[in-house]
Structure 1
């Protein structure tokens, strides 16, 4: 059934502080195939602590939004996990 760990695609030069460490732990969770950080941008509201939430389902997975300070970053996850199971995997990766 594929490799025991997923793959983290690092193509950008900029990531939210602390995000890559969490995503490295997320790809170790069973059922996660690929994690790809994407667009980074500015938000109006301030989030003091790094938070990751599921935004919308995509073809083959989900789009996540990571927020820290006034910055957000989209993260695409290819997985066969349900939304509830993915939320659990994210919570485990955050620690």
Structure 2
């Protein structure tokens, strides 16, 4: 998939935001390439800022806040699945 970095990345970020919301996550697009994602009922420490940027081969990918790629930017469903696993660790029950 050929991606226009000035137009299509905005659309992909919007699609990822909506897909995360449909998966039950709190997701807010914070800019053309940044998405805040958090799972309701979990620690705020598990919130993530997901960004879209090219990898070393110039393929547009989603990236974790710790600068590791998640998957290709066009792989919305895969990105949601992986993001949900990271931000959805349940809190331990309170005594």
The two structures have a TM-score, normalised by structure 1, of 0.29
The answer to which structure, 1 or 2, has the higher relative contact order (CA under 8 A, 6+ apart) is 1
Structure ID, larger Rg: 2
Higher strand share: 1
When the two structures are superposed, what TM-score results if normalisation uses the length of structure 2? 0.29
**Whose helix proportion is higher, 1 or 2?**
2
